[in-house]
């Protein structure tokens, strides 16, 4: 039968694809990729940049699209069938990758071209591509012995499958928990919108009452506002114990095994640790630089975090007689203290943050800075009815990108928020293929009587992922592997994190923050309160990110062979960042730390704070010239967003900023040093 995945397509024909199409299509496309590699290797011409490096770069285009499509569906609209197919596909792709990387004849051709690079008169982008391909082969075993290559293949296959299983367990255990509240008094203090959403969720599952799940839009309002301390405790412990329970979704053994396999792989390749292997190709360069960076931030943030914690602790004791502040108390009393200090209730912002309006606000930022227009279209095939599609046009009405938006939680979607591609950008033989980008999130859903009214933090997330999206949309490079967000990992968060800054600016908020019922503009005093409260708990939030960065490095910057207890190792790794007086035996972060065990952030979680240094410094440049400065926007577009990974990140950054970034801008913005 006809398999649409084997045919060339522009937009993805979702409605014509069956789950069962993926495995045979990917097997066939793997064969085609191997044929292309064989053609490169058997070419009788002397190896050169075009017949070897460019040929390798351009091989397997359809395979890349189909595997990316499958991966996206497995994250955003998965089911048991897709998860089972993934277990068959993952090893095939890992084996193909190894077949290519460990192909001695192919590497010989690459090395011949690499060795004559100084005489080739290559452009900066071509030079980067050549360097990347050579290093990719060299760093992943091209020079290993035959026996070690076999070991590497086995390790890669095992790591691939375990990472997949980690993610499956996390999704399953998240979905496995729900609490049905039958008495409305159990929701005392919870905002009406959150109560209504809980009621609708219960109805959707054929139940009477109010249903709370471990999806963030469901449980977070409960933790922040519920007066029922015991229920807050129950839900907080449930979230903190995901994949740490003694059931089939437990991830402890997977965490231990992945960390040990990664170490074994790194040492096989000649590195002292997985972190050393990873960081060689990051801006940070080596683990000692990451640890110095995290410890410098820790020294700045810890006194502020301790002071903030004590303030909330004393506040809880004063108003409710709480003797010991527990994790299920922190958000609740922090929100009360925020309201007291700034007369700002987070929920009071929701009516002014209708999702559609916030989205339009993000679009206006892109329009003002980068001359982009977003036109919603309804003739694009989608994978779920909730997905919206937009054509992204420049001021000449030329198509720049296609943009998919998927905003609300559902059972088949993993938690969190991310940007991804359905089609990459490249410019080969004068044909500039424009990208198809997607933002996938888990925001507050609309109810029967209200549109989606999101929190301020959800607005930050929308702008954040939109920043990633712009990095993809505005890509303008020759090669797809250097396009858009294909940059060094500790540079990738700059375009996303810088965009969050506009959420605090009056000039931005007044363009879209209107009351969803009355149309009233968000009051200026509310904007002033938002600005004044922007440093509230910054010490604590910074400490949280440092803690996760240290935890990541603790798993990957060592020989983990002696680690046999996930919980004890974690407690030791993050002990100096902990503020609570007691330990909580049933909660564990590592087993649900998808960023490092099933995502791409192993030895890289520090990059969020690293990129904050860049984004704070870069936004300071905008503020000096006006937050909607066309000139600075054009420079950011020309030197950062459109360039992808074509040159070293610091070269691109200095071209935009005129100098290297300073950590002081971040410390000032966070209130950790005086302005």
The residues assigned a catalytic role are 465
Closest CA to 419 of 440, 390, 394: 440
Query: Is residue 419 within 8 Å of 438, Cβ to Cβ?
Result: yes
Query: Is residue 465 within 8 Å of 439, Cβ to Cβ?
Result: yes
In the structure encoding, which two tokens stand for residue 548, read together?
């996760």
Separation in Å, CA 214 to CA 44, 145, 218, 237, 458 = 59, 48, 7, 11, 16
| Residue 638 CB-density burial (10 A; 0-12 exposed, 13-18 middle, 19+ buried) | middle
For the beta sheet containing 436-440, the strands, ordered from the edge strand earlier in sequence to the opposite edge, are 372-377, 388-394, 399-406, 436-440, 418-423
Pairing of strands 388-394, 418-423: unpaired
Give the whole-angstrom CA distance, residue 496 versus residue 474.
Answer: 13
In the structure encoding, which two tokens stand for residue 598, read together?
């099933």
Query: Is residue 269 within 8 Å of 140, Cβ to Cβ?
Result: yes
What are the b/e assignments for 570-601, b being 16+ CB within 10 Å? beebbeebebeeeebeebbbbbbbbbbbbbeb
- DSSP-assigned beta bridge partners for residue 165: none
> Residue 578: which residues within 8 A CB-CB, separation 6 or more?
547
Give the whole-angstrom CA distance, residue 267 versus residue 281.
Answer: 17
Give the whole-angstrom CA distance, residue 268 versus residue 271.
Answer: 7
Phi, then psi, of 389 in degrees rounded to 5:
-130, 145
Neighbours of 47 (CB within 10 A): 21
- DSSP-assigned beta bridge partners for residue 178: 213
Query: Is residue 353 within 8 Å of 461, Cβ to Cβ?
Result: no
Closest CA to 462 of 612, 359, 531: 359
Query: Is residue 212 within 8 Å of 181, Cβ to Cβ?
Result: yes
Give the whole-angstrom CA distance, residue 321 versus residue 323.
Answer: 6
Give the whole-angstrom CA distance, residue 619 versus residue 467.
Answer: 13
Chain position carrying tokens 């015991």? 230
Give the whole-angstrom CA distance, residue 376 versus residue 388.
Answer: 8
| Residue 307 CB-density burial (10 A; 0-12 exposed, 13-18 middle, 19+ buried) | exposed
Q: Kindly write down the DSSP assignment for every residue of 439-455, as one continuous string.
A: EE--PPPP-SSS--B--
Separation in Å, CA 216 to CA 219, 429, 430 = 5, 46, 45
Phi, then psi, of 49 in degrees rounded to 5:
-60, -45
Give the whole-angstrom CA distance, residue 593 versus residue 587.
Answer: 12
């Amino acid at each position: 039968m006809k398999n649409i995945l084997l045919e060339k397509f522009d937009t993805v024909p979702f409605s014509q694809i069956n789950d069962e199409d993926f495995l045979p299509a990917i097997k066939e496309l793997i064969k085609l990729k191997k044929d292309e590699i064989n053609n490169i290797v058997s070419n009788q011409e002397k190896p050169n940049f075009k017949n070897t490096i460019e040929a390798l770069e351009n091989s397997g285009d359809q395979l890349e699209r189909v595997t990316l499509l499958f991966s996206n569906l497995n994250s955003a609209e998965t089911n048991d069938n897709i998860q089972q197919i993934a277990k068959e596909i993952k090893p095939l792709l890992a084996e193909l990758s190894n077949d290519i990387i460990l192909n001695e004849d192919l590497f010989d051709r690459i090395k011949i071209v690499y060795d004559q690079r100084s005489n080739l008169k290559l452009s900066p982008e071509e030079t980067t591509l050549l360097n990347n391909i050579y290093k990719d082969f060299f760093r992943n075993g091209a020079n290993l012995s035959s026996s070690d290559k076999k070991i590497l293949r086995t390790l890669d296959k095992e790591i691939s499958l375990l990472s997949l299983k980690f993610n499956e367990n996390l999704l399953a255990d998240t979905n496995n928990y729900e609490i049905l509240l039958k008495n409305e008094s159990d929701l005392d203090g919870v905002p009406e919108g959150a109560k209504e959403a809980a009621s609708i969720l219960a109805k959707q599952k054929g139940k009477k009452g109010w249903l709370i799940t471990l999806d963030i839009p469901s449980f977070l309002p409960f933790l922040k506002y519920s007066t029922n301390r015991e229920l807050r405790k129950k839900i907080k412990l449930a979230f903190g114990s995901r994949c740490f329970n003694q059931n089939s979704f437990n991830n402890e053994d997977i965490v231990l095994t992945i960390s040990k396999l990664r170490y074994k792989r790194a040492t096989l390749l000649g590195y002292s640790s997985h972190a050393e292997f990873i960081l060689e190709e990051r801006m940070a360069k080596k683990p000692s630089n990451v640890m110095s960076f995290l410890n410098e931030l820790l020294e700045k943030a810890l006194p502020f975090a301790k002071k903030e914690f004590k303030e909330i602790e004393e506040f809880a004791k004063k108003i409710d007689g709480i003797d010991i502040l527990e994790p299920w108390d922190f958000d609740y009393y922090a929100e009360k203290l925020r309201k007291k200090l700034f007369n700002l209730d987070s929920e009071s912002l929701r009516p002014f943050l209708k999702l559609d309006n916030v989205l339009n606000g993000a679009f206006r930022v892109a329009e003002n800075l980068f001359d982009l227009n977003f036109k919603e279209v309804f003739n694009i095939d989608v994978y779920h009815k909730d997905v919206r599609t937009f054509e992204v046009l420049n001021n000449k009405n030329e198509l720049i990108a296609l943009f998919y938006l998927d905003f609300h939680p559902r059972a088949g979607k993993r938690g969190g928020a991310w940007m991804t591609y359905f089609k990459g950008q490249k410019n080969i033989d004068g044909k500039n293929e424009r990208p198809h980008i997607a933002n996938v999130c888990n925001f507050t859903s609309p109810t029967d009587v209200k549109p989606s009214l999101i929190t301020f933090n959800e607005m930050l997330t929308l702008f954040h992922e939109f920043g990633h999206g712009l990095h993809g949309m505005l890509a303008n490079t020759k090669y797809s592997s250097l396009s858009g967000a294909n940059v060094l990992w500790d540079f990738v968060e700059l375009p996303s994190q810088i965009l969050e800054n506009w959420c605090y600016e009056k000039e931005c908020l007044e363009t879209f923050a209107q009351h969803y019922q009355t149309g009233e503009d968000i009051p200026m005093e509310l904007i002033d309160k938002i600005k004044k409260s922007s440093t509230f708990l910054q010490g604590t939030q910074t400490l949280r990110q440092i803690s996760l960065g240290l935890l990541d490095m603790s798993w990957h910057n060592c020989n983990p062979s002696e680690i046999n207890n996930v919980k004890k190792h974690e407690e030791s790794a993050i002990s100096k960042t902990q503020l609570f007086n007691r330990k909580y035996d049933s909660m564990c972060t590592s087993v649900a730390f998808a960023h490092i065990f099933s995502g791409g952030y192993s030895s890289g979680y520090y990059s969020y704070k690293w990129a904050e240094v860049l984004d704070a410094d870069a936004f300071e440049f905008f503020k000096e010239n006006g937050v909607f400065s066309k000139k600075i926007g054009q420079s950011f577009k020309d030197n950062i967003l459109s360039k992808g990974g074509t040159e070293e990140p610091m070269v691109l950054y200095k071209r935009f900023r005129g100098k290297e970034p300073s950590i002081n801008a971040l410390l000032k913005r966070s209130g950790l040093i005086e302005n």
